[in-house]
Amino acid sequence: MGTGNRGQPIIEGRAVTKEYCSADGRITHALAGVDVVFHEGQITLLIGPSGCGKTTLLNIVAGFEHASSGVVLENGEPIVAPHPRRGVIFQEPNLFPWLTVFENLMFGPQVRRENPAVARPRAETLLDMVGLTKFRDHYPHQLSGGMRHRIAIIRTLANAPDILLADEPFTALDEHTRRKIQRDFYDLVARTQKTVIFVTHNIEEAIYLADRMVIMSPSPGRIKQVIDIDLPRPRDILDLRFNEYRSLLFNLITPDVEVDL
């Protein structure tokens, strides 16, 4: 996985515009004419200041919202509704508190009536990947915050999606836990060979995870620049080239933050 192994386009946005109308009739322009392509097998990070439409674009890709104009395609077909092929990881783990860890993992496959002989070994393998097999019979309230986030990630993977959509899933974690979860997330994605579209406002997180970065500008959201991150794995946040990317992103994003203020 990486910029040198870019696969075929799997998600494509064409002239995507999104407008919201308030109760008093005022129009908010969230996205304006966004053209973007996400490639199979890549981790693409959407980054930009608050209000640039990152989450709005992700929700349209997920099928939770519809574009006001333009279209988002998956393998050439318009996305019109959510689908198990596109698994979503939210900001909060949102595990079912009345189910054990393993029951949480099996919930999606059971709803879809997947063969347990296929779904159970997959769930067990994912638990082993994140080192939480011994917690399979625990309830969410018996886990640490980092554990709950890891379970939320593999619960999405337990549904065997083709594409992972992540909306700032590690924002609430402390720095030490966040870095550990970032490493675990990348390892899982690399081992399962998933296509990932990941929203963040954290520059360091974006450089650490991304094969490719889509930088958005606000009011309304547009694609400002697309950058391939050409760094070896595993990535060292103290590496000189890592810091060169950090400076580049900071200089690209900061003027938009200042304007937005």
Per-residue pLDDT, averaged over 62-91, amounts to 96
- CATH superfamily, domain 3-85+194-260, is P-loop containing nucleotide triphosphate hydrolases (3.40.50.300)
Q: How many CB atoms lie within 10 A of CB 52?
A: 28
Residue 5 pLDDT more than 70?
Answer: no
**pLDDT of 7:** 85
| Sequence spans of domains, the chain | 3-85+194-260
pTM of the entire predicted model = 0.92
Mean pLDDT of 46-58: 93
Which pLDDT does position 258 carry in this prediction?
Answer: 54
Please check the confidence at residue 109 and state whether its pLDDT lies above 60.
yes
CB < 8 Å & 24+ apart, contacts of 96-99 = 96/140, 97/139, 97/140, 97/141, 98/139, 99/139
Predicted pLDDT of residue 218: 87
* Dihedral angle, C-alpha 138, 139, 144, 149, nearest 10 °: 110
- Positive or negative torsion for Cα 64, 68, 72, 73: positive
Concatenated DSSP letters of the chain = --GGG---EEEEEEEEEEEEE-TTS-EEEEEEEEEEEEETT-EEEEE-STTSSHHHHHHHHHTSS--SEEEEEETTEE--S--TTEEEE-SS----TTS-HHHHHHHHHHHTT--HHHHHHHHHHHHHHTT-GGGTT--GGGS-HHHHHHHHHHHHHTT--SEEEEESTTTTS-HHHHHHHHHHHHHHHHHHT-EEEEEES-HHHHHHH-SEEEEEETTTBEEEEEEE----SS--TTSHHHHHHHHHHHHHHHHHHHHH-
pLDDT at 123: 96
> What is the per-residue pLDDT for 247?
95
Question: Is 250 within 8 Å of 204 (Cβ atoms)?
Answer: no
- Quote the pLDDT of residue 21: 86
Is the pLDDT at 143 greater than 60? The verdict is yes
Whether 256 shows a pLDDT value over 70: the answer reads: yes
